[in-house]
């Protein structure tokens, strides 16, 4: 009997110790020791969120699609590590002087994984399918810069008069509605990627799930899909640069639970973990597994200029100047969240010299409580007296409640009592988009690597301009920048526009940008970083498991 | 008997219909559009709502849904674009069912003998220890057991794999985690029911007639003692076959429980409805089967029908 009790006590103690060391320990024998891979040398296994969307550039392109696009497809051009644009499926291109006509010449050795030639018709195939509303493309508005594209979409996909021509198999020419200096950046949107015209047809809506029909022109091909479980890409021997690819197989397992992901990384069942939970910053501190990479995202406050009291620029500025960004990022994890006063993501790399946007742009908003109080007084609300009820709305997810509470405390110091309101994400988006929120949290991740992905949002008539802000000077600078082909001159214009939006008119108040934490097996070498954030695993080498 | 089965099936179908009606109404009451997403705006959103029939009046949407349901068509998922709900359910139900069956066998093999052993134990001390262990098994939530097993036997000792259900070894930890509660409950139920039957006059009678101990155990004691256990099995099997969200998430099992919760948080109305109907049907069928087995085992129940 005593023995039984002792044994039970021992087992319980062992279990408790084990769980404690795994949860919080930095001990090298604990759960956070460097991972040893269990997978083969020529393959890597990673985790992705639960499967969603399609594997069709003209379809519902959720995050899983982007894994597929990264490994399996190649667009006309791509970003180099320093953010510059380099040839990919197109070897050369040219545009006319006002950037309204762009012609691309495809490379002769561009092949699909079945060995057939990649042609201009394959690029046109994605565009025409995307313009058919039946296809349900998520990025179809990225095509609306092309002449006749918006009309085609609103006319049930009838592409008569569309400004895309294929004079021969290896040439594709785009005629745009208006000058678009950043057209090359737009080419990183899914709708500009090719889909094989032999198999990718509207009549066969399931083609993309069938790996024998979903042909690929990238360094890997779509080898296997286990619905809801995993997707596997294998090296494409017909890729023109195949000799630079060292691994044979890449698998993404669909996982939801953070603890499960970290545990699977620790057992070696996963080789790498992207967007790892924040606590790995502590458990893996000082270990070579832990890596960090930027995300092109800005979290900000959106003032509703059509509602009192934010119709007064002084009130908006008072609220913005009362914000202390470091307090916010400290509350939610200083390693992953970095204070920022720019709307364009702070870590975005300038096309002029590769430096970060946060360094190129001046500090757009001071953190000055006294000045904030002064501005509020000038607006006629000394110490917040006379202000209507103010509500800050945020989606009920991740760290948003903490951010809201810190902001509430900071505005309290300004003399204003702000009510907090959490909403379910879809409801919050719905309310924000219909202009019903007085003061709201907002976040924008760049769709492509150019400041216009952020700054275009607040141009007159843009569908993302939720508060319908109209500023003639801003609009004309943005229109001018769209025509400017000289990178340095264009950057000056964009910097000026951003200053109007944030400093002069303070329609928005940027708060912070985000870095993702990664756990990557130290046996993996040759990692590169994308200029748009994140790690590039395509050219890696992996040591064999012991 | 046939009349009884027919009546139970009719009640089951009516229950399912009420379930469909309530779930449909509730999903429509949820604010926000299921297609609301940062990449779908203005005209594109309107076109997509039209495509999914979301622009029609709610009553019409319900009628269309019921009509399709009769044809076995549960609709298309809003969030897993282009994927049929029936396809998602058939993909996700098998991992859950496989794990559920393994757990079920574990519950039978461990739970019933444990209950019998406990009832037959002479020493009160041993009974006390058993009882404490079973109480612990019933009271510790399965997510704690699942996490503890994962950390101890998966991460620390590296004895069992923890990702998916690829090999038989993958089943060990999730099945134990999922099975601990039903094992304890079945053992406890078997014990009390067994003790109750042991006290009955017909057992004393059977023993007095000189029937062998084994026959008394199997034919007289177990057969009668199993009735409450069988009744409990109905909801238990339904519980095992509909999956545990926590265990499926933690051990990355692409099962239906995990899918259900994802569907709710994604506002994927059609998927929520589809899985609700599926789970509802399983619960109704399992309860019906449990009642039928009871009727077969116990002539008294059969006669009262």
Q: How many domains does chain B have?
A: 2
- Please indicate whether residue A422 or residue B244 has the higher confidence score (pLDDT): A422
Instruction: Please state, as a whole number, how many other Cβ atoms lie within 10 Å of the Cβ of residue A433.
Output: 17
> Domain boundary at B15, B38, B70, which?
B70
Q: Which residues of A touch B88 (CB under 8 A)?
A: 228
Q: Are residues B46 and B162 in the same domain?
A: no
Q: Classify residue A287: in a domain, yes or no.
A: no
How close does chain B come to A257, measured CA to CA in Å? 5
Q: Which residues of A touch B52 (CB under 8 A)?
A: none
Q: Are residues B153 and B121 in the same domain?
A: yes
Instruction: Tokens for A198, please give them.
Output: 């032999």
Q: Which residues of A touch B251 (CB under 8 A)?
A: 260
> Domain boundary at B11, B40, B70, which?
B70
Q: Are residues B147 and B286 in the same domain?
A: yes
Q: Are residues A261 and A330 in the same domain?
A: no
Q: Does B82 touch chain A if contact means CB atoms closer than 8 Å? A: yes
Between B124-139 and B168-198, two packed helices, what is the crossing angle to 10 degrees? 130
Rounded distance between C-alpha atoms, residue B266 and residue B264, angstroms: 5
Phi, psi of A94 (to 5 degrees): -150, 160
Q: Classify residue B86: in a domain, yes or no.
A: no
Question: How confident is the model at residue A61, as a pLDDT?
Answer: 80
- What is the average pLDDT across A308-320? 94
Q: Kindly tell me the burial class for residue A246, based on how many C-beta atoms sit within 10 Å of its own C-beta (0-12, 13-18, 19 or more).
A: middle
- Give me the torsion for CA of B145, B151, B154, B159, rounded to 10°: -90
Instruction: Tell which phi-psi region holds residue A420, choosing left (phi > 0), alpha (psi between -120 and 50) or beta.
Output: beta
Q: Are residues A362 and A246 in the same domain?
A: no
Cβ within 8 Å of A, B 160-179: 161-164
Phi, psi of A319 (to 5 degrees): -65, -40
Q: Do A426 and B252 touch (CB under 8 A)?
A: no
B-chain residue closest to A156, CA distance = B47
CA atoms within 13 A on the CB side of A466: 25
Whether the link from the prior residue into A309 is cis, omega within 30° of 0, is: yes
- Please indicate whether residue A233 or residue A294 has the higher confidence score (pLDDT): A233
Q: Are residues B205 and B236 in the same domain?
A: yes
Q: Write the CA distances from B41 to A295, A357, A448, integer angstroms.
A: 23, 28, 18
Question: How confident is the model at residue B43, as a pLDDT?
Answer: 66
Q: Write the CA distances from A182 to A147, A208, A404, integer angstroms.
A: 16, 30, 36
Q: Is residue A230 predicted with pLDDT exceeding 80? A: yes
Q: Are residues B106 and B36 in the same domain?
A: no
The answer to whether A267 and A431 have CB atoms below 8 angstroms apart is no
Q: Are residues B181 and B38 in the same domain?
A: no
- Please indicate whether residue A54 or residue A106 has the higher confidence score (pLDDT): A106
Q: Are residues A240 and A325 in the same domain?
A: no
Cβ within 8 Å of A, B 120-139: 125, 129
CATH of the domain at B183: 1.10.3720.10
A255 Cα distance to chain centroid? 19
Q: Are residues A158 and A175 in the same domain?
A: yes
Q: Kindly tell me the burial class for residue B227, based on how many C-beta atoms sit within 10 Å of its own C-beta (0-12, 13-18, 19 or more).
A: middle
Q: Are residues A412 and A529 in the same domain?
A: no
The answer to whether B23 and B272 have CB atoms below 8 angstroms apart is yes
How close does chain B come to A227, measured CA to CA in Å? 7
Q: Are residues A73 and A131 in the same domain?
A: yes
Instruction: Tokens for B40, please give them.
Output: 């779908």
Q: Classify residue B9: in a domain, yes or no.
A: yes
How close does chain A come to B174, measured CA to CA in Å? 12
Q: Are residues B276 and B230 in the same domain?
A: yes
A477 Cα distance to chain centroid? 26
Substitution target in B79, B89, B155, B248 with the highest count of A β-carbons within 10 Å is: B155
Q: Which residues make beta-bridge pairs with A540?
A: none
Q: Are residues A496 and A387 in the same domain?
A: yes
Q: Do B36 and A1 touch (CB under 8 A)?
A: no
Q: Are residues B33 and B169 in the same domain?
A: no
Q: Are residues A134 and A251 in the same domain?
A: yes
- The residue among A399, B50, A212, B36 whose CA lies nearest residue A222 is A212
How close does chain A come to B169, measured CA to CA in Å? 14
Q: Are residues A386 and A485 in the same domain?
A: yes
Instruction: Please give chain B's pLDDT, 305 residues, in tens.
Output: 778 788 888 888 898 889 889 888 887 777 666 665 545 566 666 766 776 677 788 888 888 888 888 888 888 777 666 678 888 898 888 999 999 999 999 999 999 999 998 888 888 888 888 888 888 888 888 889 999 999 999 888 889 988 888 889 999 999 999 999 999 999 999 999 998 988 888 888 888 888 888 888 888 888 888 888 888 888 888 888 877 788 888 888 888 888 888 787 777 778 888 998 888 888 888 888 888 888 887 777 767 66
Q: Are residues B107 and B55 in the same domain?
A: no
Least confident segment among A26-35, A228-237, A436-445, B11-20: A26-35
Q: Which residues of B touch A149 (CB under 8 A)?
A: none
Rounded distance between C-alpha atoms, residue B259 and residue A79, angstroms: 36
By DSSP bridging, strand A220-226 and strand A230-235 are antiparallel
| Nearest CB neighbour to B164, from listed A229, A257, A267 | A229
Q: Is residue A91 predicted with pLDDT exceeding 90? A: yes
Q: Is residue A20 predicted with pLDDT exceeding 60? A: no
Q: Given the structure tokens 């939006």, which residue do they identify?
A: A501
Q: Does A12 touch chain B if contact means CB atoms closer than 8 Å? A: no
- Please indicate whether residue A113 or residue A29 has the higher confidence score (pLDDT): A113
**Structural domain harbouring B52:** 2-70
Instruction: Tokens for A412, please give them.
Output: 């309290």
Substitution target in B30, B32, B257 with the highest count of A β-carbons within 10 Å is: B32
pLDDT tens by residue, A174-186: 999 988 888 999 9
CATH of the domain at A312: 3.10.105.10
Least confident segment among A156-170, A177-191, A449-463, B219-233: B219-233
**What is the count of residue pairs from A and B with beta carbons less than 8 Å apart?**
135
Q: Are residues B166 and B267 in the same domain?
A: yes
Cβ within 8 Å of A, B 231-260: 249-252, 254, 258-259
| Nearest CB neighbour to A269, from listed B152, B161, B258 | B161
Q: Are residues B63 and B124 in the same domain?
A: no
Q: Is residue A5 predicted with pLDDT exceeding 50? A: no
How close does chain B come to A475, measured CA to CA in Å? 21
- What is the average pLDDT across A264-277? 89
Q: Are residues A110 and A35 in the same domain?
A: yes
Q: Given the structure tokens 């933690």, which residue do they identify?
A: B250
Q: Classify residue A288: in a domain, yes or no.
A: no
How close does chain B come to A259, measured CA to CA in Å? 7
Q: Kindly tell me the burial class for residue B217, based on how many C-beta atoms sit within 10 Å of its own C-beta (0-12, 13-18, 19 or more).
A: middle
Cβ partners under 8 Å of residue A250, min gap 6: A43, A44, A46, A71, A220, A232, A233, A234, A537
Query: Can you count the helices (H) and strands (E) in chain A?
Result: 16, 22
Phi, psi of A208 (to 5 degrees): -70, -20
Q: Write the CA distances from A524 to A18, A268, A291, A294, integer angstroms.
A: 28, 13, 12, 20
Q: Are residues B33 and B126 in the same domain?
A: no
Q: Do A52 and B79 touch (CB under 8 A)?
A: yes
The answer to whether A143 and A127 have CB atoms below 8 angstroms apart is yes
Q: Write the CA distances from A97 to A101, A179, A427, A460, A486, integer angstroms.
A: 9, 9, 45, 26, 11
| Nearest CB neighbour to B250, from listed A229, A254, A260 | A260
Task: State the complex-level ipTM.
Answer: 0.71
Q: How many domains does chain A have?
A: 2
**Structural domain harbouring A38:** 2-278+521-542
Cβ partners under 8 Å of residue A489, min gap 6: none
Instruction: Tokens for A131, please give them.
Output: 């313009």
Q: Which residues of A touch B254 (CB under 8 A)?
A: 228-229, 254
> Which of A120-124, A274-278, B241-245 has the largest mean confidence?
A120-124
Question: How confident is the model at residue B80, as a pLDDT?
Answer: 65
Rounded distance between C-alpha atoms, residue A176 and residue A455, angstroms: 20
Q: Does A167 touch chain B if contact means CB atoms closer than 8 Å? A: no
Q: Which residues of B touch A253 (CB under 8 A)?
A: 163-164, 252
CATH of the domain at A112: 3.40.190.10
Question: How confident is the model at residue A26, as a pLDDT?
Answer: 35
């Amino acid at each position: 009997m005593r023995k039984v009790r002792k044994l039970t006590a021992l087992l319980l103690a062992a279990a408790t110790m084990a769980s404690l060391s795994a949860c919080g320990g930095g001990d090298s024998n604990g759960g956070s020791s460097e991972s040893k891979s269990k997978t083969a040398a020529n393959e890597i296994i990673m985790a992705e969120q639960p499967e969603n969307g399609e594997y069709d550039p003209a379809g519902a392109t959720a995050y899983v699609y982007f894994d597929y696009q990264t490994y399996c497809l190649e667009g006309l051009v791509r970003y180099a590590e320093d953010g510059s644009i380099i040839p990919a499926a197109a070897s050369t291109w040219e545009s006319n002087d006002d950037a309204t006509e762009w012609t691309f010449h495809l490379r002769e050795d561009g092949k699909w994984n079945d060995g057939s030639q990649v042609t201009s018709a394959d690029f046109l195939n994605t565009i025409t399918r995307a313009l058919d509303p039946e296809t349900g493309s998520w990025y179809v508005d990225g095509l609306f810069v092309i002449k006749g594209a918006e009309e085609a979409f609103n006319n049930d996909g009838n592409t008569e008069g569309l400004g895309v021509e294929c004079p021969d198999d290896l040439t594709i020419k785009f005629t745009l509605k208006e000058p678009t200096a950043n057209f090359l950046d737009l080419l990183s949107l899914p709708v500009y990627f090719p889909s094989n015209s032999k198999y990718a047809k509207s009549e066969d809506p399931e083609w993309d799930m069938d790996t024998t029909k979903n042909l690929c022109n990238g360094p890997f091909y779509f080898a296997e899909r286990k619905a809801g479980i995993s997707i596997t890409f294998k090296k494409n021997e017909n890729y023109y640069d195949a000799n630079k690819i060292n691994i044979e197989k890449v698998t993404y397992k669909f996982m939801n639970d953070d603890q499960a992901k970290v545990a699977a990384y620790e057992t070696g069942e996963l080789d790498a973990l992207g967007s790892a939970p924040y606590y790995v910053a502590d458990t893996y501190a000082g270990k070579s597994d832990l890596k960090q990479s930027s995300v092109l995202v800005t979290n900000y406050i959106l003032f509703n200029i059509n509602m009192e009291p934010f119709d007064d620029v002084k009130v908006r500025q008072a609220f913005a100047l009362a914000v202390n960004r470091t307090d916010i990022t400290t509350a939610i994890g200083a390693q992953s969240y970095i204070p920022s006063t720019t709307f364009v993501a702070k870590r975005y790399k300038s096309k002029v010299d590769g430096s970060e946007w946060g360094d190129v742009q001046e500090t757009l908003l001071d953190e000055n409580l006294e000045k904030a109080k002064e501005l509020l007084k000038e607006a006629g609300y000394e110490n917040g007296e006379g202000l209507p009820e103010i509500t800050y709305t945020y989606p009920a997810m991740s760290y948003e409640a903490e951010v809201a509470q810190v902001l509430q405390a900071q505005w309290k110091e300004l003399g204003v009592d702000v009510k907090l309101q959490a909403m379910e994400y879809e409801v919050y988006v719905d309310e924000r988009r219909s202009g019903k929120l007085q003061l709201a949290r907002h976040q924008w991740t760049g769709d492509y690597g150019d400041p216009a992905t952020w700054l275009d949002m607040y141009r007159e008539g843009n569908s993302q301009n939720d508060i319908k802000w109209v500023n003639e000077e801003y609009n004309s600078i943005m229109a001018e920048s769209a025509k400017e082909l000289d990178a340095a001159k264009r950057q000056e214009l964009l910097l000026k526009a951003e200053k109007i939006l944030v400093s002069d008119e303070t329609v928005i108040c940027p708060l912070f940008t985000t870095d993702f934490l990664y756990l990557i097996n130290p046996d993996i070498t040759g990692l590169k970083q994308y200029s748009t954030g994140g790690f590039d695993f395509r050219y890696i080498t992996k040591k064999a498991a012991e | 008997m046939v009349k009884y089965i027919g009546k139970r099936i009719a009640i089951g179908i009516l229950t399912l219909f009420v379930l469909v009606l309530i779930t449909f109404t509730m999903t429509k009451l949820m604010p926000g559009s299921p297609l609301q997403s940062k990449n779908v705006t203005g005209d594109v959103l309107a076109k997509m709502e039209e495509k999914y029939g979301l622009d029609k009046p709610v009553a019409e949407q319900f009628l269309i849904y019921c009509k399709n349901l009769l044809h076995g068509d549960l609709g298309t998922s809003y969030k897993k674009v282009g994927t049929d709900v029936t396809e998602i359910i058939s993909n996700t139900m098998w991992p859950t069912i496989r794990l559920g069956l393994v757990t079920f066998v574990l519950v039978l093999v461990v739970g019933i003998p444990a209950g019998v052993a406990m009832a037959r134990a002479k020493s009160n001390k041993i009974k006390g220890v058993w009882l404490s262990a079973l109480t612990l098994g019933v009271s510790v939530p399965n997510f704690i057991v699942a996490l503890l097993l994962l950390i101890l036997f998966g991460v620390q000792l590296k004895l069992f794999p923890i990702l998916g259900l690829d090999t038989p070894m993958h089943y060990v930890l999730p099945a134990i985690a999922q099975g601990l509660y039903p094992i304890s409950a079945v053992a406890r139920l078997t014990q009390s029911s067994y003790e109750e039957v042991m006290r009955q006059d017909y057992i004393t009678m059977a023993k007095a007639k000189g029937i062998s101990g084994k026959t008394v155990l199997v034919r007289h004691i177990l057969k009668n003692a199993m009735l409450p256990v069988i009744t409990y099995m109905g909801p238990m099997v339904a519980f095992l076959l509909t999956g545990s969200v926590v265990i499926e998430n933690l051990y990355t099992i692409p099962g239906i429980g995990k899918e259900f919760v994802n569907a709710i948080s994604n506002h994927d109305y059609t998927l929520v409805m589809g899985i609700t109907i599926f789970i509802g049907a399983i619960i109704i069928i399992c309860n019906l089967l449990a009642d039928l087995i009871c009727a077969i085992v116990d002539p008294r129940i059969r006669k009262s029908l």
